[in-house]
Structure 1
Amino acid sequence: MKIYDLIVIGMGPAGMAASAMASAIGLNVLAIEENKVGGECLNCGCIPSKALLKTAQVNQISHNLEQFGIISNIFTDTKESLDIVRQKISRISGKKLMQAFERVELIINKGYAEFVDTHSVKVGVNVYKAKKIFIATGTRPFIPDIDGLNEIDKEFKLTNMNLFTQKNIPKNLTIIGGGAIGCEMAQGFARLGSNVNIIHIDNHLLPFADSDAADVLEERFKKENINVFNKTQIKRVYQKGNKVFVETDSHLFESDKILIATGRKPNLEELKLSKVGIKYNNKGIIVDKALRTNIKNIYAIGDCNGISNFSHSAMHQGMIALMNSINPLPFKIYHDKYLVPWSVFTSPEIASVGLTQEEALKKGLDVVIIKKDYASYGRAIVDGATEGFIKVITNKKGKIFGVTIVGENASEIIHEWVLAMQFKLSMFDILMTQHSFPTISMLNKMVSEDWMMGKLQKNPIIKKIAAKLFRI
């Protein structure tokens, strides 16, 4: 039997990163994917959702040209929107993508991989063996235990798995869950013509986010006639003909479709982990800081380990796991040494890294909160993008504990703060870094200026000394 250097199970972001890098350094790699290369992110997750959001944004702008002084009478028909999304994904997932894996032996769409022993897996009747194995099977939608939900016909019950295969934009859409997927799709479909209701059990949308950020997003949703029902319990769901009804403790919602966006669960069952003694729980496969399972030649990377359900984190873990698997020394690279930012691609965008204000105060940290509104900056005003703010959690010495950005290009300008925090730079370092004017990222420098001015205002001795030195 041929013995591979590495078997990678799952070809989503984590598996793609690991297999491409491993083959690039000359390792003999076998990659197994039960569906499509790219996993959910490329095929039915973060990439198609961004395609939909871009289409929705264009439609929104076309009907609001007056803000730019353009008078128009535009009619738009959005019935081809989802077809365009599918065309874009088909183009991305074509030959150009597969070129990265020319040196990887691929088993695609032949069934699930299951463990035979700690060095072997089986696909169908065929057994494959390797020195090391990376599990990168990702997650799938978590379906909550709601009375009647299982009885709803599949064509009326959407998740990200079948959302982008729909032929038409539903006239009425009820979304269960107000996390990232729920919020992005609420705005996307509303801008393409759907009447949207979000039913959410937590106190505010994006419960993992700064509450001020959620407030800005909810205010925008009100303007776009997206109805948000926070702190709302669902009693039951039922179907009558071609309509789905969601009964809560306060309302009855009638919809053409419902979208379930209530989180994720790891894809583990088919692997038969217990057969070889790999430990796991309901969050995912248990790994150490080097991303090894309790079986030291087997690593678990990406969403399947439950550490951080973001595609960029999965890619990063794939790289770290490969580096650790190559290194025979006991000194390994630990995944928790690297910050994980996140972004939600609504309008306005929301991005964050490190602690939120609520988390910092809960920890009892002595912090200074610096907040800069987009509306205070000329570029944001002329762009018509005055919603939002930058909020920095810092202290008197300028240590950065966390940053939340709400507004135009938040997902891009957050990375300056990730770099600063990763390499222990301070507010003073941001202040002394020249930013090209008038970019949106100039707001990063402006908020650091506010921090410095606040220090001077609160310390009259420094002000007096500075004035005297200037006058010498």
Structure 2
Amino acid sequence: MEKHDLIVIGMGPAGMAVTAMAANMELDVLAIEKHKVGGECLNYGCVPSKALLKAGEVNEVAENLRQYGIKLSGKTEIENPLEIVRNKVGKISGNKTMKAFDRAKLIVDQGEAKFVDKKVVKVAGKKYTADKIFIATGTEPMIPPIPGLKDVPRLTNLNIFEQEDIPETLTIIGGGAIGSEMAQAFSRLGAKVNIFQIDDHLVPTGDQEAGKVLEEKFKKEGIGVHNSTGINKVEEKNGKIITHTDVGVFESDKILVATGRKAVLEPLNLDNAGIESAKTGIKVNKRLETNIKGIYAVGDCNGKALLSHAAMHQGMLALMNAINPTPIKQFNYDDYLVPWSVFTKPEIAQAGITEKEANEKGINYQIVKERYEDYGRTIADGKPEGFVKVITNSRGKIFGATIVGEAASELIHEWILAIQHNISMFDIMMTQHSFPTISLMNKRVAEKWIMNKTDSGIIPKLAKKFI
């Protein structure tokens, strides 16, 4: 039986982080991946979706050059965007990525790892043991119990990028990040798209007002958005997908299911190691350790946050806890804010709580908002849709920030830092931002907060007296 310092099961974002860091520390690492290094993020999710979104964005810009005073003779022609996406993914997952794991032993595409006991893992008929084991097996698409859905040819993020051509018509079930991103990407590349969801606005985990801004943009681009809509049945007839909904019957060439994720736990034989799990994933404490000492569960498989950056961060924290000789100073996952972004145009990004959550928590708050349409740079860029909304109070404490608009996924990081380190609105206002960057929108919100304070009350009277 082979003995190692660490065993990592799963080489998605979480497993890659543990493996690369541990190997760089010259620890003896065995990493097991049942399919492809990179997991869903690199091969079937974050990376290929961004490549396809960029193709759609380029085509959309080319077809609307007149807004920039440029005339294009003729029309663009869609050739092979999905093939180019696959080529880009192949390039990213090539030798450069694999070089980070040169110091680790990899077992790839030889079957699934299974626990024999709490110290031993078996794969491809061979047993391995380690003092520390990290489970990073991720999640897989969840198929809702809609009558007929499991019987028709359907797309998920696992196979959508393997399509040879852009379908003429596409039905999408789910209006979250994956559903919204793919709706816009395929629509901008020529497909007629309809989204159906039971929630009342797009990106339902986020701010309602931000979701409505995105919905208006989708409608302008010809995407059908059907919120608060149930699906009664799905069937296939004459090579077409027929979707029966509360608002009518729709026919399409393809159907994409984007209704959430579920943890991949069954192949692991967790019971053999005595590892506890729930419907949402493997149970862990604040240090990301399971109920079995020395076994950690990181990334999507623990159900904490189904996001690639959260998975990478968890991998780092869990490794730091595993090698920490002093139990006094531990790195608790709950101490770190988890932001998220959706890469549609306009983008949506969130840090901290939303306005709805602030109401539910009974927080005494105030909203400060700055609209993109009031800033010269975003007007000049032809990107006037959106706003920066901050949930704060009279003292300038920041509880949350919602951004919908151009570069929202970049602007949000200033608010992440502010919330996590208790930086106030006054501090943001007093920080010089380069003009005319889009990030100046953050400073403009902080300026509006201070102006709201000085517009009324005793401050104007005192200012007049002192001057």
What interval of TM-score do these two structures reach, taking the shorter chain for normalisation? over 0.9
What is the 5 A alignment of 1:121-132? 121-132=121-132
Please name the residue that 1:299 is paired with.
296
2:234 matched to 1:234?
A: no
Mapped partners of 1:39, 1:467: distance in 2: 63
Say whether the 8 Å CA contact 1:393–1:403 is kept in structure 2: yes
Q: Report if aligned partners of 1:62, 1:74 keep a CA contact under 8 Å in 2.
A: no
Query: What does residue 390 of structure 1 align with?
Result: 388
Which residue type is aligned with residue 343 of structure 2? F
Residue 165 of structure 1 is matched in structure 2 by 162
Mapped to 2, the partners of 1:6 and 1:107 lie a distance apart of 14
Deviates more, 1:268-277 or 1:426-435: 268-277
Whether 2:354 is the aligned partner of 1:356: answer yes
In the TM superposition, 1:264-303 aligns within 5 A as 264-303=261-300
Counterparts of 1:15 and 1:279, CA distance in 2: 20
Aligned residue type for 2:112: Y
> AA paired with 2:23?
S
Q: How does 1:140-151 map to 2 (within 5 A)?
A: 140-151=140-151
Q: Deviations over 1:162-218 (max 9, x none)?
A: 000000000000000111000000000000000000010111111111000001000
Does the aligned pair in 1 maintain the 2:372–2:385 contact within 8 Å? yes
Secondary structure at the residue paired with 1:253? strand
Distance 1:89 1:18 in 2: 22
Quote the Cα distance in structure 2 between the aligned partners of 1:144 and 1:455: 49
Question: Aligned residues: percent identity?
Answer: 59
DSSP 3-state at the match of 2:390: strand
Do the aligned residues in 2 keep the contact of 1:209 with 1:356 (CA within 8 Å)? yes
Q: Which runs of 5+ in 1 are unaligned?
A: none
Q: Report what 2:35 is aligned to.
A: 35
Aligned residue identity for 2:356: E
Residues in 2 aligned to 1:39 and 1:122: alpha-carbon distance in whole angstroms: 20
Note if contact 1:79-1:169 (Cα within 8 Å) is conserved in structure 2: no
Q: Is the 8 A contact 2:13 2:312 kept in 1?
A: yes
Query: CA-to-partner distance for each residue in 1:78-121, whole Å, 9 max, x for gaps?
Result: 23010000010010000000000000100000000000011111
Partner of 2:405: 407
TM-score (norm 1): 0.98
Q: How many residues align?
A: 466
Q: CA deviation at 1:466?
A: 2.2
Aligned-partner SS, 1:130: strand
Among candidates 287, 307, 310, match of residue 307 of structure 2: 310
- 1:417 Cα offset (Å): 0.6
What is the identity, as a one-letter code, of the residue corresponding to 1:412? E
* Matching of residues 216-231 of structure 1 within 5 Å: 216-231=213-228
1:375 alignment counterpart? 373
Separation in 2 of the partners of 1:372 and 1:365?
22
Give the stretch that moved more between structures: 322-331 or 446-455: 322-331
Match of residue 445 from structure 1: 443
Amino acid at match of 2:68: F
**1:210-230: per-residue Cα shift (whole Å, max 9, x none)?**
000001000000100100111
What is the distance in 2 between the residues matched to 1:451 and 1:90?
Answer: 47
Could you report, residue by residue, the CA deviation over 1:274-333 in whole angstroms, capped at 9, with x for unpaired residues? 122111111100000000000011000000000001100000000000000001322211
Please tell me whether residue 210 in structure 1 is matched to residue 207 in structure 2: yes
Please tell me whether the aligned partners of residues 118 and 272 of structure 2 are also in contact (alpha carbons under 8 angstroms).
Answer: no
* 1:364–1:458 distance in 2 versus 1, CA, 3 Å: farther
Contact 1:53 1:188 (C-alpha < 8 Å) held by counterparts: yes
CA distance in 2, matches of 1:380, 1:314: 33
CA distance in 1 between partners of 2:456 and 2:348 (Å): 31
- 1:133 is matched with 133
Residue type of the partner of 1:347? K
> Using the alignment, how far apart are the partners of 2:47 and 2:449 within structure 1?
37
State the Cα distance separating 1:468 from its structure 2 match: 2.2
What's the offset of the Cα at 1:24? 0.6
CA distance in 2, matches of 1:178, 1:448: 32
2:66 corresponds to which residue? 66
The answer for the alignment partner of 1:419 in structure 2 is 417
Spell out the pairing of 1:108-127 with structure 2 (5 A cutoff): 108-127=108-127
Contact 1:179 1:261 in 2 (8 A): yes
Further displaced range: 119-128 or 444-453 = 119-128
2-structure distance, mates of 1:423, 1:228:
39
User: Is this contact kept in 2: 1:148–1:236, CA < 8 A?
Assistant: yes
SS at match of 1:307: coil
Deviation at 1:11, TM superposition (A): 0.3
* Structure 2 unaligned residues grouped into runs of 5+: none
| Preserved CA contact (<8 Å) 2:2 2:127 | no
Cα distance in 1 for partners of 2:152, 2:355 equals 41
Give the residue type in structure 2 aligned to 1:182: G
2:143 and 2:150 in contact (8 A); partners too: no
Q: C-alpha offsets along residues 355-409 of structure 1, whole Å, 9 cap, x if unaligned?
A: 1111101211110100100011000010001000000000000000000000010
Give secondary structure in 2 for the equivalent of 1:197: strand
- Report the AA paired with residue 453 of structure 1: M
TM-score (norm 2): 0.99
3-state DSSP class of the match of 2:251? strand
Any idea what SS the aligned residue of 2:7 has?
Answer: strand
Amino acid in the other structure paired with 2:131: K
State the Cα deviation string for residues 14-52 of structure 1 (Å, max 9, x = none): 000010000111110000000100000000101000000
Q: For residue 464 of structure 1, what is the aligned residue in structure 2?
A: 461
Q: Answer yes or no: is 1:335 the counterpart of 2:369.
A: no
SS of match in other structure, 2:291:
coil
**CA distance in 2: counterparts of 1:205 and 1:348, whole angstroms:** 12
Partners of 2:17 and 2:315 within 8 A in 1: yes
* Pairwise CA distance, 1:458: 2.8
